[in-house]
């Protein structure tokens, strides 16, 4: 396990919307550099930057046209190298976003692959062997190229699937994972990884890492084998480089594929959704951190604990406050509820990720789709730095902005919250300071559930710290001998400890050592 991850707290940046340095209405690398002190002061020491490579931006950069070229809207390659350098000066690591499953239809590889004449890229994508041929249940496109065949898609029409092979080929056009063309695809992605690591990048978050091999089995046998092969030589060359998978099954991504971390995403059935986004799959919102919810932590623990126990010595599960694909947590949680939620997420095991703006409670906005965002667009609006023009994001006129800013009189902003001791921003800073200072609160500190029953406060131990969470709308009593003689280090809400009996207020979190 990579040593620097033990103390890591990540901050996710959607580059289009973080900070515009040149007044063109869209965020850029120099804008990120100008705001590195905010990230450091918050208590984060690592970044994940969403795709910033050359792209036609039909899917906000997840349709890559050139893996080795920075998108002009953000700056040059040299600007990105400078970002690595300046971040490192401040003790901040930087991960880029790798999209290995598909490219843009405008990528040079695809242009060559679509030609009638056979060439070195003919097998780089998945093609049928006839122009009217289907794709065995997979989405496909025909009639766009001179080649006699149809090509498979990942997601949008603009995203042809790269060819890593099929686990068990059943058609003449389906290739096994050890076919030379499939191996060439692996080598091409490994070359991209090496390129950016050689320039100062510290690793990658990997988009849809579980989707490489087609018609894979439940255990993703083929995809895991492909990742082990891609990463093995890179690990020897760059032993400090980190790889985090968008997979949501840590026992596969960490134990079988060889990733360092795995996101716990807002997918039904993994318990995480029950904490903040229960409304996505249920008629009534019973999110754990909602005061009016059921307060049932068992839904989360039932799914999380077995996965944590299986993977804790090999890698990290990463909790996110939100991401670019997820509705912001302020959508259904008040500021007070967010404080309790963040205190819990940031003191559980693993390496946490904070989405830009969540530290001030930015709202989800009902705005028109932009660059393939659709319902996700409302979580991608400009960062709110102050109460000035465009909330400090850009000096461009409003009609030139990438997305509209939150113009509500109640819109939160960094400058407004910095001066309020009990603001959400300062609460997050306090939580992360405690995380750094107290032994056992880092990524792999000991973790034990002391009390985890439905309707009762959630009590857990991290090293020598004991955390108690009461998100409900009523005061609760906890009797726990481990609390006797403990010193209070962090309090959100109210709590009174008398010996081994604690009365914790409604909507409260307390940490003792």
Q: What is the CATH number of the domain that holds 383?
A: 3.20.20.80
How far apart (Å, rounded) are the C-alpha atoms in residues 397 and 117?
Answer: 49
| C-alpha distances out from residue 483 to 437, 457, 461, Å | 20, 14, 10
Cβ neighbours of 251 (radius 10 Å): 17
Same domain, 464 and 396: no
End position of a domain, from candidates 163, 190, 205: 163
Same domain, 416 and 503: no
- Confirm if 365 and 53 have CB atoms less than 8 A apart: no
Reported in sequence order, the residue ranges of 305-430 that DSSP labels E, i.e. its strands, are: 316-319, 353-355
Same domain, 117 and 93: no
Helix (H) or strand (E) holding 327: none
How far apart (Å, rounded) are the C-alpha atoms in residues 236 and 247?
Answer: 24
Does residue 29 lie within any of the structural domains? yes
- Residues of the domain holding 21: 3-99+261-437
Q: Give residue 454's pLDDT.
A: 93
Does residue 470 lie within any of the structural domains? yes
Same domain, 147 and 90: no
Q: In 3-state terms, what secondary structure has residue 56?
A: coil
Helix (H) or strand (E) holding 313: none
| C-alpha distances out from residue 361 to 3, 149, 411, 454, 495, Å | 31, 49, 9, 28, 24
Same domain, 311 and 422: yes
Same domain, 137 and 93: no
Q: Give residue 108's pLDDT.
A: 98
First-to-last CA distance in the chain?
27
End position of a domain, from candidates 437, 466, 494: 437
Q: Give residue 195's pLDDT.
A: 98
Number of domains in the chain: 3
Does residue 184 lie within any of the structural domains? no
Cβ neighbours of 21 (radius 10 Å): 18
Same domain, 34 and 22: yes
Does residue 245 lie within any of the structural domains? no
Cβ within 8 Å of residue 385, ≥6 positions away? 19, 35, 391, 392, 393, 413, 414, 415
Q: Give residue 202's pLDDT.
A: 98
Cβ neighbours of 227 (radius 10 Å): 28
Same domain, 312 and 330: yes
Does residue 187 lie within any of the structural domains? no
Residues of the chain whose pLDDT is less than 50? none
Q: Residue 62 has what DSSP assignment?
A: -
How far apart (Å, rounded) are the C-alpha atoms in residues 284 and 272?
Answer: 17
Does residue 175 lie within any of the structural domains? no
Q: Give residue 281's pLDDT.
A: 78
Does residue 351 lie within any of the structural domains? yes
* φ/ψ (deg, to 5) at 236: -70, -35
Same domain, 58 and 159: no
Same domain, 287 and 433: yes
Q: Give residue 283's pLDDT.
A: 82
Measured in whole angstroms, how far is the alpha carbon of residue 151 from the centre of its chain? 29
How far apart (Å, rounded) are the C-alpha atoms in residues 79 and 84?
Answer: 9
Q: Give residue 495's pLDDT.
A: 97
Cβ neighbours of 15 (radius 10 Å): 26
- Interaxial angle between packed helices 424-437 and 335-345, expressed in degrees from 0 to 180 and rounded to the nearest 10: 20
Q: Give residue 165's pLDDT.
A: 98
| C-alpha distances out from residue 97 to 19, 52, 146, 245, 512, Å | 18, 8, 32, 10, 37
Does residue 251 lie within any of the structural domains? no
How far apart (Å, rounded) are the C-alpha atoms in residues 217 and 223?
Answer: 9
């Amino acid at each position: 396990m990579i040593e620097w991850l033990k103390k890591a707290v990540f901050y996710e940046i959607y580059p289009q919307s973080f900070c515009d340095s040149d007044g063109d209405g869209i965020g850029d690398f120099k804008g990120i550099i100008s705001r590195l002190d905010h990230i450091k002061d918050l208590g984060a020491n690592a970044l994940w930057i969403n795709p910033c490579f050359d792209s036609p931006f039909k899917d906000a950069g997840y349709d890559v046209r050139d893996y080795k070229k920075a998108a002009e809207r953000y700056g040059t390659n040299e600007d990105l190298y400078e970002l690595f350098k300046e971040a490192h000066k401040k003790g901040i690591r930087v991960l880029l976003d790798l999209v290995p499953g598909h490219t843009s239809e405008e990528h040079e590889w695809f242009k060559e692959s679509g030609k009638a004449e056979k060439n070195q890229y003919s097998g780089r994508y998945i093609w049928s062997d006839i122009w009217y041929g289907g794709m065995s249940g997979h989405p496909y496109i025909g009639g766009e190229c001179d080649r006699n065949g149809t090509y498979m898609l990942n997601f949008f029409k603009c995203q042809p699937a790269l060819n890593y092979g099929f686990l068990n080929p059943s058609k003449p056009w389906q290739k096994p994972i050890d076919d030379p063309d499939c191996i060439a695809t692996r080598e091409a992605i490994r070359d991209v990884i090496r390129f950016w690591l050689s320039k100062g990048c510290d690793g990658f978050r990997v988009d849809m890492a579980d989707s490489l091999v087609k018609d894979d089995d439940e255990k993703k046998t083929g995809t895991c084998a492909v990742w082990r092969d891609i990463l093995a030589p890179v690990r020897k060359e760059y032993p400090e480089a980190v790889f985090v998978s968008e997979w949501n099954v840590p026992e596969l991504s960490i134990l079988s594929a060889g990733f360092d971390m795995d996101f716990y995403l807002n997918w039904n059935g993994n318990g995480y959704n029950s904490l903040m986004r229960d409304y996505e799959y249920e008629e009534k919102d019973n999110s754990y951190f909602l005061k009016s919810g059921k307060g049932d932590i068992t839904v989360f623990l039932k799914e999380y604990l077995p996965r944590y126990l299986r993977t804790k010595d090999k890698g990290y599960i990463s909790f996110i406050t939100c991401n670019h694909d997820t509705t912001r947590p302020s959508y259904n949680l008040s500021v007070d509820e967010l404080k309790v939620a963040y205190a819990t997420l940031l003191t559980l095991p693993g390496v946490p990720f904070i989405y830009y703006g969540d530290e001030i409670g930015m709202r989800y906005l009902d705005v028109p789709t932009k660059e393939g965002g659709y319902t996700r667009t409302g979580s991608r609006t400009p960062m709110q730095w102050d109460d000035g023009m465009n909330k400090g994001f850009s000096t461009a006129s409003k009609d030139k902005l990438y997305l509209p800013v939150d113009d509500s009189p109640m819109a939160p902003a960094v400058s407004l919250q910095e001066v309020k001791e009990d603001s959400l921003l300062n609460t997050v800073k306090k939580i992360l300071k405690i995380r750094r200072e107290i032994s056992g609160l880092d990524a792999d500190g000991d973790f034990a559930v002391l009390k985890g029953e439905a309707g009762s406060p959630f009590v857990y131990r991290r090293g020598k710290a004991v955390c108690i969470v009461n998100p409900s709308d009523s005061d609760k009593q906890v009797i726990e001998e481990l609390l006797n003689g403990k010193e209070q280090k962090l309090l959100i809400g109210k709590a009174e400890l008398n010996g081994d009996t604690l009365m914790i207020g409604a909507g409260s979190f307390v940490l003792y050592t």
